[in-house]
Structure 1
Amino acid sequence: MEQPSSQSPWAQTMIPLDVSITRQADASLNAPFIRIWQAFLSGRVLLATALVLLQALSTQLQATASPLVWLVCLGYLALTVVMRWAAARNLPAPTAGLQWLPVIGVDIAAVFLLQILQSSNLNYMALLAIPILIASALGSMLLAMGTAASVTLLLLAMVSWLHASQGSDATQAYYQTAFTCAGYFGMAYLTQDLSRRVRRERAAALHSRLRTQTQEQVNALVISNLSDGVLVVDQSLRVQQANPAALRLLSLLPSHPPSFSLQTQTAWEPLMDAVQLSFAQNSPLTATVHLQATPQQGRTGLHLRTRITEVMASDAESADSLCVVFLHDLREMEAQLRTEKLASMGRMSAAVAHEIRNPLAAIVQANALLAEDLAGQPGAQQLCNIVNQNAERLNRIAEEILNIARVQQEDALAQTPPLALDRHAAQTCREWQSQASQQPLLQLHLAAPAQVVNFDEEHLRRVLVNLLDNAQRHRSHAQQAHSLQIVSGHGVSAFIPATAEQSWLQVWSDGAPLESSVLRHLFEPFFSSQSRSSGLGLYICRELCQRYGATISYQRLPRPTPQGMQEGNAFTVVFSSSVGPANAQSLFDLIVV
């Protein structure tokens, strides 16, 4: 038998399928034809057994036995049993070829030998319909018509030989053979046409099923990756499906089963009331609810939208309504709205900031002169200090806004001299400490003294100062040196997304974890979790890092402290690997360049 190829031969006679249909789909497509093939093989075994029993009965009745007839019957039985055992799973190719000889060829030969060798008046010609049916149902049109034509020629040859040997009139026998063979051709054509229709409909059904499965997978992936929560609730207030975002908004673990009842927690009563009202009105509903799982977690504001759908039950004519609930975090919606509003004012803010600097400088100078004139008056001096502090704050905000415009207008990559990483980081940290009002304590762990980076000195200072200011604001209340740490290194390290050729710099503080709503907009302009911050520091850091091929990222990492390993917030800058170690150049070379 010829083994089937990996690409099913039946594809030659079917409608074209999508390229996404795999071997498993191909096997599913051939499944009904394999069952037909196995049924034909089993029928041949039963037919061969019936022929042997018929010969045994004929021997008992006529007391005569032809050894050749017995040999043909027993040989045919043996061949059908071997084929049923060896080729039950191997569907032959539908094209005409030698693979059909053990089936169609053996059947035709056995029938004609029995008809020629039999000594009784039995007629075996009706059995020729079996090989024609096999060729028509499982083969191509060429194989079906070729089998019918072969049977026709053999019948005509046998009729000519019999009547030539007997010397009688063969007109009636020729007419009977002609009508029989015409019926064979008609049967072959109709069976083959029916087989082609079955294959075509089977291919179309399988194609539609695969497209449906693919669409279901796409829908599942989209829903599971949505930032908004999605719940599917039935009329008994049981959640049938829930995506990870919905579990997070309901203060459930990601490993929580997606099917649960809303009645299990009293904190979900506002959500239950909204779902029940939507079911009662049988209409969409938009509402704002506040959930509180535990007193420690606080209240979670949710903006929800409901949609009612109907799914026909499989075992009844009635329809069960389902409620699809879309959940949105109010804090994220407010933050996104604030970001969009402030981003739309970005260009105008840059122009305003530029115009503010001139009158602001005049205010600072006038305030300094006024402070000299009011020397010795503590109350007036305190007022001058307040004016000076707020003027400096306003100047920093204007400077940050203008820095954005400067960064965006500069070239993609400036030709800058190599910069010693550890030396510049230490110098910047000392300057930042000396300029801070409260003299913050920080701990340096600089482990890349021989490495230089491709970064402008002033730009790297700006990045580091912004990260230090951010870490100082979000550190714990404890004012120990280990609560604010500066770490540098080279190559692969734990939790550092760097390769063996890259240097990195990290600013770590022991502050509380950032909220998920803050993490999504961490590096966006004008976004800040504090009202007194402009929300531009981290955005400027990202823009400057991208300018020099570096990356900046946030991780929640543990660092060693006198009290042991402690979790904290870490911002890591990974520099480009295009610059070699610092010992390749001297200090004089760095200064001259």
Structure 2
Amino acid sequence: MPRAAPLSSGRPVAPAFLRLWQGFLTARVLVALALLALLLLGAAMGQAGHALLPSCALAYVVATVLLRVLAGRAPPAPQPGLHWLPSIGVDVLLIATLQALQPAGAINFTPLFGLPLLLASVLGTLTLALGTAAGVTLLLLAWTVWQGGSDSTMQYLQAALTGSGYFVVAYLTHQLAARLISEQKVAQLSQVDARTQRAISALVMQHVADGVLVLDVAGVVRLANPAALLLFGPHASPGVPFALAPDGPWAALLTMARETFALQLPQTVDVSVEQHGQPPMALRLRSWPTHTRAARAEDDEEALCVVFLHDLREMQARLRTEKLAAMGRMSAAVAHEIRNPLAAISQASQLLEEDLHDPVHLRLNRMVRTNTERLVRITEDVLDVARVHQSDNAPTAPRMELDATVRQVWADWQAHDPATRQGLLALEAPGAWAAFDPEHLRRVLVNLLDNAQRYRGPHADALCLSTRITPSGRAGVQVWSDGAPLDASVERHLFEPFFSSESRSSGLGLYICRELCRRWRASIHYQRASRQLARGEVAGNAFTVLFARDRASATDTAPPSGFDTIGA
């Protein structure tokens, strides 16, 4: 949208007003040139006239050109004032001078008064327009008095009639200009409202969770938001209208759209869409016609149908989440109740160890004690998760050597089932230290590794655990597997509590991972990433944990390292 040019008073002016001002200035230049050419041609043909007439016309040309060059971008304020002298004042003065110097019976220059009169009526206020008309009328009457003659009465009447016409023209022209300006403002506001509504509609369609389609009577999808394109998969053409096949997987959608156009009433239907190579999708389709029969009879706008596609799998998952949330509250109560028995078991184990001497019994007692302590910590963590309590004053994070800790977690995880738990270990952060509790990191990585193992492929390199240093200097660990992409409805709720795509899962694993990372000011996120393997570039799912950097602990027990001094 073009910017408004400044007025001579410093206020902005609308582009339309500026164009009118420049148009009048250009017209003045053309009139001045035509007037000069006419006077020079008359002098060349021997027509009688005052010697100063060409000079006045030449001065007028110079004045109009200077005003066009110097004030073309700065129109005067509409209110009456001295700032109109270079335009209206010069025009009236020049025309009056030409008329005064012109012999009786020669060229009549009074019609040229229409130019300053129009300039004042269109670009000025009503006061300026009527004032200009009054001034011109007085000049005409003065000219009549100066000329005198036997038919002076008729000349007075003619001057008065001309002046009256000037007043009428000034008033009507100003009213017409004001009406046009008002309609232009209304049109501009309407355009702004239309652009705003279009931008809001596009923004809503881009970010709404449900799929949104716009179809015509021929079954062609005119518009589709990203959520709808994800549901369509390969059957959609982003950015290009595409037709629905009557015998395709979306035939039910086409049938419902046709019924909507035929009945001109909203429709709702639940369907199951089976696309090749994908599991069936349970969808709820809701359609609305954009035109009723009465509206279609009154205008020629094309009738369209808006369809909303709601994934019922997400609705079912949310219902299941609510049920599991209730179970989670019960689990928190159970965890609260078993803390005391666990404490008693731990204390009894310590007392029992004092009376044991057999190495086998001592080893068994230490196993009981170790696992009891682990259960106590898990119980405390479950209680923290159940309360969704995140303290602003997080405990001071112990510092651990990243590669050594990850190597130990990998070895312990593989030891449980060496035959099936195969993968790659890439330790690429030598000397890096992370501010994170080692036991919590073990829980996070074991959870991620178990998930990756569940969905990995049959190849030995289908799973990879790696550490790295990001370009910004943060240490990180990543669990990657070559599993299939996550469904969009699952990815949106990946780290929510009690949300799971499997009926046998509690849906707490990734949520606990996120809460443990937040406790130590680390971050965890999911992305679809490719990895270069011996069998080529393979796409897969990657869960990455990035650790916080702590300058205060950079000089702790960690050995000197270039990574220890990187700022947060």
TM-score by length of 2: 0.76
Separation (CA, whole Å) in 2 of partners of 1:100 and 1:314:
54
Q: Structure 1 residue 523: deviation in Å?
A: 0.6
Separation (CA, whole Å) in 2 of partners of 1:358 and 1:527:
30
Separation (CA, whole Å) in 2 of partners of 1:179 and 1:131:
19
Moved more, 41-50 or 269-278: 41-50
Which residue does 1:429 correspond to in 2? 410
TM alignment of 1:563-578, pairs within 5 A: 563-578=535-550
Q: Tell me whether 1:132 sits opposite 2:114 in the alignment.
A: no
CA contact (8 A) 1:542 1:552 kept: yes
Q: Tell me whether 1:443 sits opposite 2:424 in the alignment.
A: yes
Separation (CA, whole Å) in 2 of partners of 1:211 and 1:124:
49
Closer, same or farther in 2 for the Cα pair 1:313/1:11, shift >3 Å?
farther
Moved more, 262-271 or 529-538: 262-271
Q: Tell me whether 1:69 sits opposite 2:48 in the alignment.
A: no
Moved more, 425-434 or 306-315: 306-315
Q: Tell me whether 1:236 sits opposite 2:206 in the alignment.
A: no
Q: Tell me whether 1:326 sits opposite 2:305 in the alignment.
A: no
TM alignment of 1:301-316, pairs within 5 A: 301-310=282-291
SS of residue in 2 equivalent to 1:531: coil
Q: Structure 1 residue 65: deviation in Å?
A: 3.6
Q: Structure 1 residue 513: deviation in Å?
A: 2.4
SS of residue in 2 equivalent to 1:263: coil
Separation (CA, whole Å) in 1 of partners of 2:165 and 2:488:
77
Q: Structure 1 residue 153: deviation in Å?
A: 6.6
Q: Which amino acid in the other structure matches residue 557 of structure 1?
A: A
Which residue does 2:96 correspond to in 1? 112
SS of residue in 2 equivalent to 1:310: coil
Q: Tell me whether 1:486 sits opposite 2:465 in the alignment.
A: yes
Which residue does 2:177 correspond to in 1? 195
CA contact (8 A) 1:453 1:503 kept: yes
User: Residues 420-450 of structure 1: CA distance to partner in whole angstroms, max 9, x if unpaired?
Assistant: 2222222333333345586723433223232
Q: Tell me whether 1:527 sits opposite 2:503 in the alignment.
A: no
Closer, same or farther in 2 for the Cα pair 1:141/1:323, shift >3 Å?
same
SS of residue in 1 equivalent to 2:99: helix
Which residue does 2:360 correspond to in 1? none
User: Residues 66-89 of structure 1: CA distance to partner in whole angstroms, max 9, x if unpaired?
Assistant: 333344456556766x58986997
SS of residue in 1 equivalent to 2:245: helix
CA contact (8 A) 1:286 1:306 kept: yes
TM alignment of 1:374-413, pairs within 5 A: 401-402=382-383, 404-405=385-386, 408=389, 412-413=393-394
SS of residue in 1 equivalent to 2:290: strand
Closer, same or farther in 2 for the Cα pair 1:319/1:204, shift >3 Å?
closer
Q: Structure 1 residue 576: deviation in Å?
A: 1.2
Aligned counterpart for 1:540 among listed residues 498, 509, 512: 512
CA contact (8 A) 1:339 1:527 kept: yes
Separation (CA, whole Å) in 2 of partners of 1:361 and 1:580:
35
Q: Tell me whether 1:92 sits opposite 2:75 in the alignment.
A: yes
Separation (CA, whole Å) in 2 of partners of 1:411 and 1:58:
96
Closer, same or farther in 2 for the Cα pair 1:143/1:265, shift >3 Å?
farther
TM alignment of 1:485-504, pairs within 5 A: 485-492=464-471, 499-500=472-473, 502-504=474-476
Separation (CA, whole Å) in 1 of partners of 2:237 and 2:250:
19
Aligned counterpart for 1:417 among listed residues 390, 395, 398: 398
Separation (CA, whole Å) in 2 of partners of 1:130 and 1:315:
49
TM alignment of 1:171-186, pairs within 5 A: 184=166
Q: Which amino acid in the other structure matches residue 332 of structure 1?
A: E
Separation (CA, whole Å) in 2 of partners of 1:396 and 1:13:
70
Closer, same or farther in 2 for the Cα pair 1:398/1:275, shift >3 Å?
farther
Separation (CA, whole Å) in 2 of partners of 1:417 and 1:352:
30
Separation (CA, whole Å) in 2 of partners of 1:285 and 1:398:
51
Q: Structure 1 residue 539: deviation in Å?
A: 0.2
User: Residues 495-522 of structure 1: CA distance to partner in whole angstroms, max 9, x if unpaired?
Assistant: xxxx23x211112223232222221111
Aligned counterpart for 1:549 among listed residues 499, 521, 535: 521
Closer, same or farther in 2 for the Cα pair 1:254/1:102, shift >3 Å?
farther
Which residue does 2:243 correspond to in 1? 261
Q: Structure 1 residue 469: deviation in Å?
A: 2.1
* Percent identity over paired residues: 44
User: Residues 356-389 of structure 1: CA distance to partner in whole angstroms, max 9, x if unpaired?
Assistant: 7899999xxxxxxxxxxxxxxxxxxxxxxxxxxx
Q: Structure 1 residue 325: deviation in Å?
A: 0.9
CA contact (8 A) 1:306 1:325 kept: yes
Q: Structure 1 residue 563: deviation in Å?
A: 2.7
Which residue does 1:34 correspond to in 2? 19
CA contact (8 A) 1:94 1:140 kept: no
CA contact (8 A) 2:88 2:119 kept: yes
Q: Structure 1 residue 578: deviation in Å?
A: 2.2
CA contact (8 A) 2:283 2:309 kept: yes
Separation (CA, whole Å) in 1 of partners of 2:516 and 2:342:
27
| Structure 2 segments unaligned to the other structure (5+ residues) | 345-374, 560-568
Q: Structure 1 residue 34: deviation in Å?
A: 2.4
Which residue does 2:207 correspond to in 1? 225
CA contact (8 A) 1:401 1:536 kept: no
Closer, same or farther in 2 for the Cα pair 1:36/1:504, shift >3 Å?
same
Q: Tell me whether 1:292 sits opposite 2:271 in the alignment.
A: no
Separation (CA, whole Å) in 2 of partners of 1:559 and 1:185:
84
CA contact (8 A) 2:213 2:221 kept: yes
| Structure 1 segments unaligned to the other structure (5+ residues) | 15-22, 363-393, 493-498, 588-593
Separation (CA, whole Å) in 2 of partners of 1:179 and 1:418:
101
Q: Structure 1 residue 261: deviation in Å?
A: 1.7
User: What is the number of residues matched between the two proteins?
Assistant: 526
Which residue does 1:376 correspond to in 2? none
Q: Tell me whether 1:350 sits opposite 2:329 in the alignment.
A: no
Q: Which amino acid in the other structure matches residue 455 of structure 2?
A: H
Moved more, 83-92 or 518-527: 83-92
Q: Which amino acid in the other structure matches residue 89 of structure 2?
A: G
Q: Structure 1 residue 204: deviation in Å?
A: 2.7
Closer, same or farther in 2 for the Cα pair 1:318/1:331, shift >3 Å?
same
SS of residue in 2 equivalent to 1:116: helix
CA contact (8 A) 2:22 2:68 kept: no
Separation (CA, whole Å) in 1 of partners of 2:258 and 2:538:
46
Q: Structure 1 residue 542: deviation in Å?
A: 0.7
CA contact (8 A) 2:478 2:545 kept: yes
SS of residue in 1 equivalent to 2:389: helix
